[in-house]
Structures are given as structure tokens and as C-alpha cells.
Amino acid sequence: MATSTYVGGIPPRPAVRGFYGRLRGGDEIAYLTTLVCAIGILLIVALIVFMLWTNSQPTVKTFGWHFLVTSTWDPNNNQFGALPFIYGTCVTSFLALLIAVPLGVAAAIFLAEMAPPKLSNIFTFLIELLAAVPSVIYGLLGIFILVPLIRDYLVPVLRALFGWLPIFQGDFYGVSLLSAGLVLSVMVVPFIISVSREVLLAVPVEQREAALAVGATKWETTWQIVLPNASTGIIGSVFLALARALGETMAVTMVVGNTPKIAASLFAPGYSIAAVIANEFAEASGSLYVSSLIFLGLVLFGLTIIINGIARIMILMTARGSA
């Protein structure tokens, strides 16, 4: 038979908890603390935008929006223009995507559609490790391995085959827009593969089976059925990769040549927004110089927000579509 007496224990009729009791329960404190942190993050982001904007004001007031299309960058004479950097950022990113997207999507197709699951998982794991390699390491490999390789093997070939194109003319000294673009492509490929692979895997198996059942080959199924289904998501992954490429600093600044000039050839050295800030900010003096660099940072920030936003929308659209 059970008895109802316990040793010690909780008093049978606890009084209604007052303020102190509720405080000890921790509910109010926990709620307030977490809310404060959440609001704090909103404030931090607002602060970032605010600081970037106010600290860019000297440049905005002096040059206005012409700053974005001027191509002179001469700190000694207080002449500042963003065009060389915008140009360099765009060219290197575009080149990176040109190489990385076909390669990455092809690899994603292989991993999602063809490879046996175990192999696919191992490879995916390794590729995700690639994404974790720090930028400065890519820069290191870029300077000492990639650039000599490009100089000794790639450039002669390009010159021989396409030397009549303006983008492949001129002298090549190693550091160049081409080198930066290639290093960026290596850095950006893992993202494209990861996201594209997941998007492809999300396409329902029934779609594939429907195609195979009428006699399509594996490739035809993939190319004509799966890929179109996943296309929005894959484009989203491309935008994500682009956002990353735009903001990439170290690897680019180590191989791009750091020359604020616009040249038609990819062999020429160039500059990117992130690279110029990295190189010149620490020693910049004079409020116009500093604020120009900060304004460049704001431009970059704005660009990445827009691109990231587009990417997110596309990936959301894929999720809705296949759900």
C-alpha cells in the first residue's frame, strides 16, 4: 500500500508567487535578456549603416555621385574616383563566375544525379571543407602557385589562340585581373556546388521517374527535366556566389596588382573595392581620402545587400515551388 508521506520535499501548498518568486523563476529576466540581445542586433546593423553613411559625407559632398563614374584615383592631389575599383570588382567577379558556374553546376549534377550516395556524401564533405579554407590561404597559393602557372602555361595559350581580342593583349606580369578572377573562381566554386546540389536533390523523384519511364536517358532527364525545375535555385546559388566574390578581399589583393587603372586587357593589373580599402585604409590620412574609402565600403555594402536579396528571393521561390 502506498503512503503519502515523503521525506522533506516540497511544501504541499505553495503560496501564490509574488514578484520575488517570479524573478527567481527567471521568466522575466530570460525574456528581457533575450529581447535585449535581439533588439541589440537590429541596433548594430542600423549603427553600421549610419556610420558608413555619415563617414562618407565629405566625399559625397565634394564629388557627389560623379564619384562613382570618375576614374582618377590620386590621393596626393585629393582626386578620388571609384570607377577603377568598380570596374575591377565587376571584371574579376564576372570572370570568376564564368569559370565557376559551368564547373560547379556540372559537379553538382554529378553529385546529385549520378554518383552513388556514399561517394556523393564524401565528395560533398570535402567540397564543404574547401569552402572553409581561409581567404588568405587562397591568396598564398595564388601568388606562389597559380600566378606562375598562369604565366607559364595559360597566358601563352590564350595569346596564341585569342591574341587578337583586346582582352588578351598586352604584357603579363603575373598580378592581373585574370589571376584574380581565376583565384576567385576557385574560391567560389564550392558554394555553387553546395547550394546547387541541394536544390537538385530537392527536385521530386517522381519527376525523374516520369522522364525515365518514357525512355529518356539519364542525361536527358537531368538536362531537360531536373535542371529546369531547379533552375531558379541554381541561379540563386550563382547570386550567392557573386555576393561572396564581390566582398572577397585578401586573395584578390594578393594577386590583382593593386593598380587603380582601367585597362581593356585581362592581363593588366587592376584593383577591386575591397582590395583598395584593405591596402590603403590603415595609412590613409586626410578626411577626404578616408571618407572616399569609406564611401567605397558603403557602395560594396549596398551591392552585396542587393545581390544577396535577389539570391534569397530566388532560393525562396524554389522552396515554394517544390514544396
Type of residue at 266: L
SS3 string, 88-132, reads HHHHHHHHHHHHHHHHHHHHHHHHHHHCCHHHHHHHHHHHHHHHC
> Which one among 181, 190, 236, 270 touches another protein, defined by CB under 8 A?
190
DSSP string, 219-245: HHHIIIIIHHHHHHHHHHHHHHHHHHH
Instruction: In whole angstroms, give the CA distance from residue 4 to residue 232.
Output: 66
Distance in Å, CB of 243 to another protein, minimum = 6
By CB under 8 A, is residue 99 in contact with another protein?
no
Distance CA 284, CA 90 (A): 24
277 is a contact residue toward another protein (CB under 8 A):
yes
When binding is defined by CB under 8 A, the residue of 95, 101, 109, 263 that contacts another protein is: 109
Q: Does 250 bind another protein (CB under 8 A)?
A: yes
**Residue number with CB closer to another protein (33 or 72):** 33
What count of residues does the chain have? 323
- 62 class by beta-carbon count within 10 Å (0-12 exposed, 13-18 middle, 19+ buried): middle
Q: Is 144 in the site for another protein (CB under 8 A)?
A: yes
- Piece of 57-65, 76-84, 138-146, 159-167 that binds another protein (CB under 8 A): 138-146
Q: Which is nearer to another protein, 94 or 219 (CB)?
A: 219
Cβ-based neighbours of 261, under 8 Å, separated by 6 or more? 84, 268, 269, 270, 271
Q: What is the 3-state composition of the chain as percent helix, strand, coil, each rounded to the nearest 5?
A: 75, 0, 25
Stretch that binds another protein, among 80-88, 153-161, 164-172, 189-197 (CB under 8 A): 189-197
Interface characters, 62-81, with another protein (x: CB under 8 A): --------------------
Write out the binding residues for another protein, residues 228-247 only, by CB under 8 A: 243, 246-247
Per rule CB under 8 A, is residue 143 in the interface with another protein?
yes
27: its cell numbers: 521568466
Q: Does 213 bind another protein (CB under 8 A)?
A: no
DSSP state of 214: T
Residue span 21-60 as binding mask against another protein, x where in contact by CB under 8 A, dash where not: xx--xxx-xxx-xxxxxx-xxx-xx-xx--xx--x-----
Minimum distance from CB of 80 to another protein (Å)? 16
CA dist., res. 66 & res. 82, Å (int)? 9
Q: Smallest distance from the beta carbon of 34 to another protein, in angstroms?
A: 4
74 beta partners = 79
Least distance from C-beta 286 to another protein, angstroms? Answer: 14
Task: Choose which of 104, 233, 260, 269 interacts with another protein (CB under 8 A).
Answer: 104
Binding another protein (rule: CB under 8 A), the pick from 61, 72, 209, 218 is 218
d(CA 280, CA 293): 8
Q: Report CA dihedral (18, 20, 22, 27) to the nearest 10 degrees.
A: 160
User: In the complex with another protein, which residue's Cβ is closer, 40 or 156?
Assistant: 40
x/- site string to another protein, residues 110 to 129, per CB under 8 A? xx--xx-------x-xxxxx
The Cα 140–Cα 182 span in angstroms is: 14
In the complex, the smallest distance separating the C-beta of residue 74 from another protein, rounded to whole angstroms, is 21
Quote the least distance from Cβ 1 to another protein, whole Å: 7
